[in-house]
Structure 1
Amino acid sequence: MAQDPMEGELMGGDPMSKLTDDILVDIISRLPYKSTCCCKCVSTRWRDFFSHPDHRKKLPQPLAGFFHDGCNNNNQFPKTARYFTKVSGEGGPLVEPSLSFLPQYDSLDILDCCNGLLLCRCWETADHKTLDYVVCNPATQKWVVVPATDWSSKVNVARLGFDPTVSSHFHVFEFIDEKAWGIDESELTPCDGRIETLAIYSSVLGVWKHQSLDSFAFAIPKDSKGVFVNGVLHLATSYKFIAAVNVEGNEWRFIDIRVPPYYDDARDDAIFVSQGQLYLANIYAGSELLVWALEDYNVEEWTLKHNVSLLELFGARYSSFADHFSFISFHPERNVIFIVCGHENTLMSYDLDRRNLCFICQLGRDCQIQWGKTPYLPYVPLFSEALADG
């Protein structure tokens, strides 16, 4: 009698065939998305395992797209609009950019996106004096209201810290500058926009904790991207170094950006996280794209990983973009950067390993970068039902 293949697997030496689906989910959920893609090719059982809707909720998901704001032209109301563009550039939005599942507010700004959660600032009145922070998961439409501080309406930089592989709890970081804190103009320091106080909200405790930063002197641009990795929030400052603080607010690091060009005030350093590592992208001498990695975090040593001339990057077809583009994201699991170029805000990706530029779509002239906001927020869905609120 012919032996059943599955029975043969169970009796044979393949230990993976003996694992139940629950155990497999627990193991694979701890892997990065790039590794899970390889797992799909192991067998028919594994392919079906990954496609099962109950399992997909617990497994790592790919980069889905970007939230971004734009201006409505032709006297349309409201004056600004919110969009979601898929990373493929095709089809309708994966999530409704209006976030209509949230309570009704007069206006809403998305301030940050971290591992599937959004941090929103929601104004309850047209005069922008009464507000809430809301942390929400668009994939599950779950949300939590975070009470504002006395300074929230004047704060320019608020960011989110969340790592679902560690905990379902999150932290909100509010960087309060001297003017927002209420320091008299005659007593302001020469450091324009200096951060006076850091407020951290923990969903574990459900309260804000404030920490004076008298011994530090730095300012953070309004559009500085928050990079949360290994329980630490990183932000590029106005003074060519990265400020890093843990979720307790009691451990600080200031990481020098010691990479060329050393003294170019006009350069635009963009920091990202990919594959659990900090990356930095900038332009050298106006003609070359440089991508650095902080491979040794302890000694703060940046290693040049990729470099390409703008002529090679854009080629003859897109040569006009060389003078008008900005970095918006680094792929979380691949050596791919995303850029927006030209007056039509063309979204493109560049594979650093293959040195291949890929057109995604034109976002249009209405999608202009808004000063004072993080303009493009990469979004990776999180299908976990948990959203701890303390």
Structure 2
Amino acid sequence: MAPGFKKGAKDSPVDKITDDILADIFSRVPYKSICCCKCVSTRWRDLFSHPDHRKKLPQPLAGFFHKGYNKNRFPSEAQYFTNVSGKGDPLVHPSLSFLPNYDSLDILDYCNGLLLCQCCNTSDYVVCNPATEKWVDVPATEWSSEAQARIGFDPAVSSHFHVFEFIDEEGWGIAEEEQHDCFNRIEALAIYSSKAGGWKHQNFDGFEFAVFYDSRSVFFNGILHVATSEGFILAIDVEGNDRGLVTIPIPPYNDDVFVDDIFLSQRQLCTACVDRSQLTVWVLEDYKSEKWTLKHNASLLELFGEGYRGTVISFHPERNCIFVVCGHENTLMSYDMDCRKMCSICQLERDCQPKRVKTPFLPYVPLYSEPLADGN
């Protein structure tokens, strides 16, 4: 609460500050303090949601894009958006109806307010900002129909973005008898720059790894980080030059456990491992020395009850909180690591059990401040 401000006071000095000035002050306040400020008064709460000030103010996690599959429904696979509160109409309509001339789109990835989508019948990409309803068309490569694509974007650096295509041996055209033992080994990388307006590609000579289907990646400090099948994180810059490898912490007593997702929370790379008995959360403390710190562990029995194991789908971007899907009805839950409290958000129902191995959940934080470079 601001100095000199008393709740209920009629002639508080703060009352004389205009909304524009308050919004400018709040834009410099850390996220955790913002959450407290919203509780001070009705005026302050409304200030954060007002369209005239959203461009200046940090936005909270709004919800998740995710897929569902039901063989008795047409189309059998559908896209959903679930609010993080579990209540109310979706903040974003998952059909992205503001995009013209796109009858069927697949949402592939999310990064800092932008969605990477792919047109199902042409394989062309569309990068869009649902908060501003702006979009940019990205032409497909000859490998786009088979490649795994990710997006990199940092609005604090530039309004331009990059699309990364990971192309396996089969997609690259290597004959089956000449392929390596590593299944779906990535042979090449193609990178699109919205600033340059074109693609460039290069081979992964000397690297043997695969990228898990629908695994989460993280774009941070100009580097794309993606988990691989060989137990390490591939870190690569937008030019495709800086190829770093970071080993992922895996419990030594569980050879069958692998980590296929990485996350970003409070400006640190994080990962979570669910083994036979416990949930462990790790944070990369030092990038150069690959030092991971065990941040949290909890018993699966205490969290979910006997016979259940949850799947960690996301970390909260600004809090010590993770999101988990658990049970036959795919219950979306949040787990506060500080108070060790699990809260049920909503049931996603069995439709959100896809025909593939797992459902990709993409967290969404609205971005109102930046237009897309050369966007529509």
Q: Is TM (by shorter chain) over 0.5?
A: yes
**Per the alignment, do residues 339 and 181 of structure 1 end up closer, same or farther by CA in structure 2, a change over 3 Å counting?**
same
Q: How many residues end up aligned between the 2 structures?
A: 365
AA matched with 1:96: H
For structure 1, the 5+ residue unaligned runs are 11-16, 125-129
Residues in 1 aligned to 2:113 and 2:193: alpha-carbon distance in whole angstroms? 18
Among residues 275, 288, 312, which one is paired with 2:302 in the alignment? 312
**Per the alignment, do residues 370 and 275 of structure 1 end up closer, same or farther by CA in structure 2, a change over 3 Å counting?**
farther
Preserved contact between residue 330 and residue 352 of structure 2 (Cα < 8 Å): yes
Secondary structure, counterpart of 1:343 in structure 2 = coil
CA shift for structure 1 position 104: 2.8
CA RMSD for the aligned pairs? 2.6
1:224-258 per-residue CA deviation (whole Å, 9 max, x = no partner) reads 11111111111110111111111121101110124
**Per the alignment, do residues 173 and 136 of structure 1 end up closer, same or farther by CA in structure 2, a change over 3 Å counting?**
same
Secondary structure, counterpart of 2:81 in structure 1 = strand
TM-score normalized with structure 2 length: 0.89
Q: What aligned pairs does 1:1-390 form with structure 2 within 5 A after superposition? A: 6=13, 21=20, 25=24, 28-29=26-27, 33-40=31-38, 49-74=47-72, 76-124=73-121, 130-155=122-147, 157-261=148-252, 264-284=255-275, 286-314=276-304, 318-322=305-309, 325-371=310-356, 375-389=360-374
Preserved contact between residue 111 and residue 374 of structure 1 (Cα < 8 Å): no
CA shift for structure 1 position 20: 9.4
Preserved contact between residue 259 and residue 302 of structure 1 (Cα < 8 Å): no
Aligned-residue identity in percent:
67
Preserved contact between residue 259 and residue 271 of structure 2 (Cα < 8 Å): no
Residues in 1 aligned to 2:291 and 2:233: alpha-carbon distance in whole angstroms? 13
AA matched with 2:53: H
Preserved contact between residue 136 and residue 374 of structure 2 (Cα < 8 Å): yes
CA shift for structure 1 position 192: 1.6
1:9-38 per-residue CA deviation (whole Å, 9 max, x = no partner) reads 99xxxxxx7x9946963x754665334334
Secondary structure, counterpart of 1:366 in structure 2 = helix
After the TM superposition, which of the residue ranges 159-168 and 287-296 deviates more from structure 2?
159-168
Residues in 1 aligned to 2:70 and 2:35: alpha-carbon distance in whole angstroms? 39
Residues in 2 aligned to 1:70 and 1:287: alpha-carbon distance in whole angstroms? 28
AA matched with 1:282: C
Residues in 2 aligned to 1:235 and 1:219: alpha-carbon distance in whole angstroms? 10
**Per the alignment, do residues 87 and 375 of structure 1 end up closer, same or farther by CA in structure 2, a change over 3 Å counting?**
same
CA shift for structure 1 position 222: 0.9
CA shift for structure 1 position 355: 0.4
AA matched with 1:288: Q
Preserved contact between residue 222 and residue 374 of structure 1 (Cα < 8 Å): no
TM-score normalized with structure 1 length: 0.86
Residues in 1 aligned to 2:136 and 2:55: alpha-carbon distance in whole angstroms? 20
Preserved contact between residue 224 and residue 374 of structure 1 (Cα < 8 Å): no
For structure 2, the 5+ residue unaligned runs are 1-10
AA matched with 2:280: L
Preserved contact between residue 200 and residue 209 of structure 1 (Cα < 8 Å): yes
1:51-84 per-residue CA deviation (whole Å, 9 max, x = no partner) reads 542111232111111111111343x211111111
AA matched with 1:293: V
AA matched with 1:71: Y
